[in-house]
Amino acid sequence: MSLQIVDFSTTNSQVIDEIINVADSNPIRLEHDIFYNKTGKKVVVSTGAGGSGTVLTETTDWVAGSAVSDSLFPTSISPDVGYTTLAILNATYHDTDLYLSYYPIADTFNATRWNDAISQLGGEALGEYRMRQDAKSPSALFPQINLTSFSGVSTVNTTNWPLYTPYLRAIHLKIGATSTFAGTASASTITLTDTADNNALLAALAESVAHFGYNYTVDWDGVSYAITNISTLTRVITVTGTPTAGAGNATFYPHRIAGSSTTARVFSLQGLGLIGMGDADRYFVGGLARRGYFQGHWHQIRTPINSPLTTDGSDSSGPRLTSGARNLSIQYISKNATEDESGNGTPRTAKTTNGPSWSVHIYQHGGRYTA
């Protein structure tokens, strides 16, 4: 359990008559997670309210435990010692109401639950995306990584991104519900079996490789290997290293770096359009890039060849007839994008194909950032 300590104070008011009732000698937590037990601020356990009745003896009847490391305290409290549990050792006082008075130092919360709570209050959960018009660097109060501030591939680590890095490393590619892909390993290659899901996964990987290079890993028998080549024709994946030979299952982790457990890759979104994954044709696999394409088509030449032809083999509309040894062909070049008959305006041309666009910086929530 990952705990984050908050609200340290040396002046917290004394808690009086917190009631506990335990069945055995197992340690329990009090309402305030960290408390003093020192001269002037001792814990008092009694059978009656306000310290009345029998006052239990420390070490004989009860004991404070699970001391908090002094290194976790700020200098205003250090070198004091705090405790997090209390155990009633004397069975005489089991199954009876006991009254506690003590001085709390701090309370704690579970970091994972805190992230969930923040998300429900309108913040982001780990891995969620957000957009900004201006660029902003990550900080403790802004644990967001700008995915448009770099080109290609970048690397994050557990030192700066203690939550984001493990999150990325755990992500694996899926085709529908399929997350493991059967195949056979031999030497430094893994050959996936010929199935629709396997072929779609290989095609999507090869497409993303064309954009980001070979920056992906495949997990075989619990070991991650760097991919160095992919053949969609033979379904062969070449890796660095020697996977366990024989039949098995491959799992693809796009963000893992082979040989490292503390780093992860992040892929730039510079200039990329976003599209929902999960299409029926298995083109769009979450976490992989796909280059732009133009739908396959033919161009129909609307200008007819007039008849009869002139003696030099041409007609007034432009095409020419050229004769060969055994055939007769028409040569005509279709060029220059011009306005069509529907009044859609003069076509715009550029070096890339894209729809109407709006440029923003895209961030991903990293949970926690430490400079």
**pLDDT tens for the chain, residues 1 to 371:** 344 444 556 667 888 999 999 999 999 999 888 888 888 889 999 999 999 999 999 999 999 998 877 666 666 565 567 888 999 999 999 999 999 999 888 776 655 555 555 544 445 788 999 999 999 999 888 899 999 999 999 999 999 999 999 999 999 999 888 899 999 999 999 999 999 999 999 999 999 999 999 999 999 988 999 999 999 999 999 999 999 999 999 999 999 999 999 999 999 998 887 777 776 767 667 777 777 777 888 877 665 555 444 445 444 444 555 554 444 555 666 777 888 888 888 888 888 777 788 889 999 999 889 88
Paired tokens of 3: 């705990």
The pLDDT of residue 302:
64
Instruction: Tell me if 179 sits within 8 A of 251, measured CB to CB.
Output: yes
Instruction: Put residue 318 in one of left, alpha, beta given phi > 0 → left and psi -120 to 50 → alpha.
Output: left
Q: Which of helix, strand or coil describes residue 224? A: strand
The pLDDT of residue 309:
47
Strands 223-231 and 236-240: antiparallel
The pLDDT of residue 100:
95
Paired tokens of 322: 């050229």
Q: Which of helix, strand or coil describes residue 168? A: helix
Residues, the chain: 371
The pLDDT of residue 173:
92
Complete DSSP assignment for 110-154: EHHHHHHHHHHTTS--TT-EEEESS----BTTB-EEETTSSSSEE
Which residue blocks in the chain are alpha helix, DSSP H? Answer: 111-120, 164-170, 196-212
The span from the CA of 182 to the CA of 243, in Å, is: 14
Q: Which of helix, strand or coil describes residue 166? A: helix
At position 101, the amino acid (one-letter code) is S
In degrees rounded to 5, what are phi and psi of residue 147? -80, 0
- In the sheet that holds 34-35, the strands lie side by side as 3-6, 104-110, 34-35, 82-88, 62-68
The span from the CA of 127 to the CA of 365, in Å, is: 5
Among 76, 86, 72, which residue's Cα sits nearest to residue 35?
Answer: 86
Distances (CA, A) of 89 to 26, 41, 73: 8, 21, 28
DSSP secondary-structure letter at 307?
S
Complete DSSP assignment for 267-288: E--TT-----S--TTS---TT-
Distances (CA, A) of 348 to 23, 188, 198, 343, 344: 80, 48, 39, 14, 11
The span from the CA of 337 to the CA of 346, in Å, is: 8
The pLDDT of residue 3:
45
Among 162, 10, 200, 28, which residue's Cα sits nearest to residue 98?
Answer: 28
